[in-house]
Amino acid sequence: MIALIDYGMGNLHSVAKALEKAGGKVVLVKKPEELAQASRIVLPGVGAFRDCIGALNESGMDAAILDFIASGKPFLGICLGMQVLMDASYEFGQHKGLGLIPGVVKKFPDTHPEHGFKIPHMGWNDVVLASSSTPHPVLAPLAGKQVYYVHSYYCAPLNPAHILAACSYGEYPFAAAIGRDNFIGVQFHPEKSQKAGHDLLEAFLQWKP
């Protein structure tokens, strides 16, 4: 069972359909205790970091996610669901994240639009896998492909080893995917990335960390 976390925000329908198309059995989950039945978790996200982490904290889902990840089961965070893995975000003030990846979430430079790069960063762009002998199994299908992004903020991990893939917007590099052990987050939207996104979700469903 794939637990798709419903915290009152995000494009749940399209993510659920994409996961089902990739072969997953998806259940929308609103209560922390429901995660115990899941074999994998997907945390989608559209909106503000403050509202997302606030909803997770209020429901107790934050602690449940940490317990789930500590159990060794696979976790995937999408867009904002990736950003909440960080220590903190500077979106609309400073807000504490789940603290799984040391580092913060920052906004693209305000000067970007002056150079012809609108904020948010929206549309198709690269996903450059980290240079290693063996690419991450969830990201391996994306080699040489482009994916779809929609975001104004980006993750800045302190440890380069936690950056599993990168991208650049206006010659400004940012993390396209982060993670370690049994959890991974992607800044782009697999559910909007056509075949590349489908291949990633399929790889996540088969991933055995």
d(CA 51, CA 163): 25
Residues with catalytic roles = 79, 189, 191
Distance separating alpha carbons of residues 113 and 48, to the nearest angstrom: 21
Neighbours of 87 (CB within 10 A): 16
DSSP H or E segment with residue 202: helix 194-206
First to last CA, the chain: 17
The CA distances from residue 200 to 72, 108, 128, 167, 204, in Å, are: 20, 26, 14, 17, 6
Which CATH number fits the domain 2-206, given the four candidates 3.40.50.880, 1.10.10.10, 3.40.50.720, 3.90.1140.10?
3.40.50.880
The domain locations on the chain are 2-206
Question: pLDDT truncated to tens, each residue of the chain (209 aa)?
Answer: 999 999 887 679 999 999 999 999 999 999 999 999 999 999 998 888 999 999 999 999 999 999 999 999 999 999 999 999 999 999 888 999 999 999 999 999 888 888 889 999 999 999 999 987 688 999 999 999 999 999 999 999 999 999 999 999 988 899 999 999 999 999 999 999 999 999 999 999 999 99
